[in-house]
Structure 1
Amino acid sequence: MSQKFQATVHQRDDVTFVKLAGVIDEDNELSDLVDKIGKGTCVIDLGEVERINSCGVRDWVNWLGKIESAGAEVVLVECSPAIVAQINLVNNFTGKGVVKSFYVPYFCPECDEEKVLLCETADMGPPPHEPPTCRCDECDLVMDFDDMPDSYFAFLANQKKIADAGKVDQVISEFNPGDGEKSKIRSRVGSTSLSGASLSSSLPSVPSLPSISRSSAGLGTGAGSRPGSAFTGTGSRPGFGTSPGSNPGTLPGSPPDARAAAVAPRSGAVVYVLVGVLVLAIVVLGVLLFAK
């Protein structure tokens, strides 16, 4: 028997109990089970089936047809969400059989937990079908249904009643007693925790704001700052590091004339440039006049 596909068969009077688990794909060994199933009721437990692909669906439909031709009356119990998806997708996935119970998937956005709740088909009532309320085992909040109700419960419209439900329940309790719980916790594979440590590692780092320093002379400069500027640090721009209500370019607690002192050298340079331009213009004008 393949490690990714497991099957066990038990017989009790005219009832055969088959439990399938793992993955049903091209490597399944369903054909080996045909001779082990005779006439009468055949209860197939699908609660541990994790996945089934197209090759597995093909082999499943053929296998189901063979055991039904041999006189088996199929009852599917504890259908996993993967099986429910195929029941809704493939028209003859259940053959002539009926679904007695199935798992409903839920998700808790607070705890990042998944959970499946076992539901009896007979308890779902008439359409429209709604998922039963399910609470998280961690935070006790109501969990979100992890699918679309209309599509997930679509197969219930074509379900038939089980002829001898009492006998089926007796066989299930004997060969698959469980622990009395109707729910199972499923871990979210590959999901990340929402703890503070993981969040801090995933968020991009934010560069610190330029610092403001004061030298003994009053104002200091740093790498990338302009002479007379109160801001230090590479690429700093005026306005960062000021307190609310203060003027950009002034230090908190500095005297009112600090800004004037900071811009004084720059103002003097501008005056010299203007005077030079004016003198040059006068010289050019004089040359033009005397040239005539």
Structure 2
Amino acid sequence: MLNVIKEQKDAALLVRLVGSIEEGVQFEQLLGNVPAELIVNCKEVPRINSVGVKAWIRYFQSLQTKGVRLRFVECSSAIIEQVNLISNFVPADSVESFFVPFACTKCKSELLGLYSSAAIKKLQGNVPAQTCPKCGGSAEFDDIPEEYFGFLTR
């Protein structure tokens, strides 16, 4: 079940999506009236199924048609997966920041690093290793750069 936490941020509405996006999601009811700018925080979206994807596309495309500026921040890996798979999942250049998966080469822990789209573009997908907070070892990017960062080149 999806919950939404709303906060006014200057002229924009910031919404934090919390939970899985699945059958029965009603974005119109959850978000209500939307101003000219909507910032969507997707940090706490662990999963989105095919029905959720359809509802997402339908809702956010309707907002685009109305001229709403959409910005997506702190996107989870589940959201980035859909952004890469479905070309119209979000408008071009609307993902401002997202989580990048890392795995420690020493203790095998998994961790996430938050990056801006601009930073990853500058790095050309060559994400530097992180220090593992558990053991101090080296945590390497844990995906295929061309696939995980593919949406940035569209």
Give TM-score scaled by structure 2 length.
Answer: 0.90
In the alignment, structure 1 residue 27 sits paired with structure 2 residue 24: yes
> Where does 1:151-170 land on structure 2 (aligned, <5 Å)?
151-158=147-154
How many residues align structurally?
Answer: 154
Identify, as 1 or 2, the structure richer in strand.
Answer: 2
Report the residue type matching 1:17 in the other structure.
L
Q: How far off its partner does 1:130 sit?
A: 1.5
Q: Counterpart in 2 of 1:103?
A: 99
Aligned CA-pair RMSD: 1.8
Provide the rounded CA distance (Å) in 1 between the counterparts of 2:84 and 2:5: 26
8 A Cα contact 1:38 1:70, kept in partner: no
**2:51 aligned to 52, 55, 59, which one?**
55
Q: Identify if the C-alpha distance between structure 1 residues 90 and 59 changes in structure 2 by more than 3 Å, giving closer, same or farther.
A: same
Tell me whether 114-123 or 104-113 shows the greater mean CA deviation: 104-113
Specify the structure having the higher radius of gyration (Cα): 1
Identity %: 32
Q: Identify if the C-alpha distance between structure 1 residues 151 and 96 changes in structure 2 by more than 3 Å, giving closer, same or farther.
A: closer
Provide the rounded CA distance (Å) in 2 between the counterparts of 1:137 and 1:96: 34
In the alignment, structure 1 residue 133 sits paired with structure 2 residue 115: no
Q: Counterpart in 2 of 1:209?
A: none
Q: How far off its partner does 1:139 sit?
A: 1.4
Q: Identify if the C-alpha distance between structure 1 residues 97 and 72 changes in structure 2 by more than 3 Å, giving closer, same or farther.
A: farther
Q: Counterpart in 2 of 1:264?
A: none
Q: Counterpart in 1 of 2:110?
A: 114
Of the two structures, which has the highest relative contact order with CA contacts closer than 8 Å and spacing of 6 or more?
Answer: 2
Report the residue type matching 1:9 in the other structure.
K
Q: Classify the secondary structure of the residue corresponding to 1:98.
A: coil
Q: Classify the secondary structure of the residue corresponding to 1:24.
A: coil
Q: How far off its partner does 1:108 sit?
A: 1.9
Q: Counterpart in 2 of 1:16?
A: 13
Q: Counterpart in 1 of 2:81?
A: 85
Q: How far off its partner does 1:97 sit?
A: 5.8
